[in-house]
């Protein structure tokens, strides 16, 4: 599966230009507004993470993400999307530098997590790929909030998760990405053995909450396709009953926020 500009396939706004009245007086020159782009940048990986760099490059993860975002939304300045060694398993957006960073170490950590049940080879690579795509769209939520000065309510991390859901449910091809993301958070939550290890203070919701949230958004986007999540008990019925409304609310919220900026 490869990414495509269809990820954010939402109708662009029509811009209607006024017609001339026949007045020979020249019209004022339209001021050109500078426009930025999402720019993919790969940095060389170290010996321990070369495989992750190779996977991202071969599957054009950064390029396809940048192409999708550039085809959909206008931003006022360039945002570099950087894959590199960071010294930690992480991904982040930095407003001061206008950068999104995806750390090769994060992909290595995800690979180890997904491999615990014996998954290997191409299926394992696919899960690592899906995780990287989901991570980039979460960080895109942060980038859009700051680059476009979007006025949000609620915790930014939750809103960024909702941007990932909004983008990746717009095409059936990418809904599996969210299943992988939800699985990743569930596996991470299963690693916690004590309540004292739970980061209640963190700006992110707990991993188990994030996992269920993504399953809820998937179910809300397509009840028929994802009914198995309820049947299998992965998504509690009590939560499933609210998921259509939750999903419609997040779609409406992001469409309203982005309406002035879409192509």
d(CA 37, CA 39): 6
At residue 63, does pLDDT exceed 60?
yes
d(CA 196, CA 181): 24
Alpha carbon 197 to chain centroid distance?
Answer: 27
**pLDDT (0 to 100) of residue 172:** 84
Q: How many alpha carbons fall within 13 Å on the CB side of residue 142?
A: 19
Pairing between strand 79-84 and 91-94?
unpaired
- Among residues 203, 220, 202, which one has the least CA distance to residue 212? 220
**What average pLDDT does the chain have?**
85
Q: Give the position of tokens 């396809």.
A: 64
Cβ of 195: how many Cβ atoms within 10 Å? 7
Interval 166-195: pLDDT, tens? 999 988 888 999 999 999 988 876 665 655
d(CA 187, CA 191): 7
- Tell me which DSSP letter residue 68 carries: H
φ/ψ of 174, rounded to 5, equals -110, 5
**pLDDT (0 to 100) of residue 10:** 41
Task: Confirm whether pTM is higher than 0.85.
Answer: no
Task: Tell me the average pLDDT across 230-249.
Answer: 96
């Amino acid at each position: 599966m490869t990414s495509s500009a269809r990820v954010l396939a939402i109708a662009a706004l029509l811009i209607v230009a006024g017609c001339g009245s026949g007045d020979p007086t020249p019209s004022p020159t339209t001021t050109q507004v500078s426009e930025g782009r999402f720019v993919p940048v790969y940095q060389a990986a170290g010996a321990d993470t070369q495989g992750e760099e190779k996977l991202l490059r071969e599957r054009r993860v950064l390029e396809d993400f940048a192409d999708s975002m550039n085809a959909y939304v206008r931003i006022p300045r360039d945002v570099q999307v950087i894959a590199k060694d960071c010294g930690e398993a992480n991904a982040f957006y930095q407003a001061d530098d206008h950068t999104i960073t995806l750390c090769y170490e994060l992909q290595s950590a995800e690979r180890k997590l997904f491999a615990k049940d014996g998954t290997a080879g191409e299926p394992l690579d696919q899960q690592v790929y899906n995780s990287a795509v989901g991570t980039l769209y979460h960080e895109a939520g942060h980038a859009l909030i700051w680059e476009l000065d979007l006025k949000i309510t609620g915790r930014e991390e939750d809103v960024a998760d909702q941007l990932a859901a909004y983008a990746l449910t717009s095409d059936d091809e990418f809904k599996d990405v969210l299943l992988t993301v939800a699985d990743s958070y569930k596996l991470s939550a299963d690693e916690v053995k004590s309540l004292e290890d739970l980061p209640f203070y963190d700006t992110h919701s707990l991993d188990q909450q994030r996992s269920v949230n993504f399953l809820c958004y998937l179910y809300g986007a397509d009840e028929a396709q994802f009914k198995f999540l309820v049947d299998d008990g992965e998504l509690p019925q009590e939560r499933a009953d609210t998921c259509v409304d939750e999903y419609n609310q997040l779609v409406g919220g992001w469409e309203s926020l982005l309406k002035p900026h879409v192509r």
